[in-house]
Amino acid sequence: MDVQVGEMFKVQSSCPLVTVDGYVDPSGGDRFCLGQLSNVQRTAASHRARLHIGRGVQLECRGGGDIWMRCLSDHSVFVQSLYLDREAGRAPGDGVHKIYPGAYIKVFDLRQCHRQMQQQAAAAQAAAVVGSIPGQSSEGGGARAASLGVDELRRLCMVRLSFVKGWGCDYPRQGIKDTPCWLEVHLHRALQLLDQVLHAMPPREHTL
């Protein structure tokens, strides 16, 4: 739901493959076992969902930063992925993608992410310039620039996935925080590129 359980699980760059499953074994360098995480406030819905995770998913880093996912569970997983949004012809952030058991699919493209963050940063910079010109309305200019925060750019650098239960317009759960067991995967290489993009912007834009 909306409560983070446990510490962030960090995967070393020496592990291009990592498995996230529902078992209770101790987590290792390339295996994150959700079953061994304790939570005294766990709901019945979360408990039931965790029982169905089973072998979970395998995430694979390919080509220096692209991420592929294999569904090893007997139940589908649901993914929020800007790459899959583009492939499906949907607006960014609009889709929730159902990944069926046995499927192996690309869920993150580093080049696309880098290009998107550059475009959004450039658009914010241009809007701020327009908004600062005397006589120009800041509505749609500086206002748009102000609305583009670092958090929004950071969202380009992550993939969210929910086990067993979906969310969005096709489900009774409106947001991912309404699902009983979900993950947020932060992609280190993409975050490095975002840091470079932000540092390359003029000083006034560092207030994003």
Each residue of 50-71: pLDDT tens digit?
888 999 999 999 988 999 999 9
Q: What is the pLDDT of residues 169-184, one digit of tens each?
A: 888 898 999 999 999 9
Residue 202 has pLDDT above 80, yes or no: no
Asked if residue 111 has pLDDT above 90, the reply is yes
Using the predicted structure, report yes or no on whether residue 148 has a pLDDT greater than 60. Answer: no
- Give the residue extent of every domain in the chain: 17-207
Q: Which position has the token pair 């569904």?
A: 71
Q: CB of 94 within 8 A of CB of 85?
A: yes
What is the CATH number assigned to the segment(s) 17-207?
2.60.200.10
Q: How many helices (H) and strands (E) does the chain have?
A: 6, 9
What mean pLDDT, rounded, does the chain reach? 84
- How far is 110 from 190, CA to CA, in rounded Å? 7
Query: Regarding predicted confidence, which is higher, 48 or 110?
Result: 110
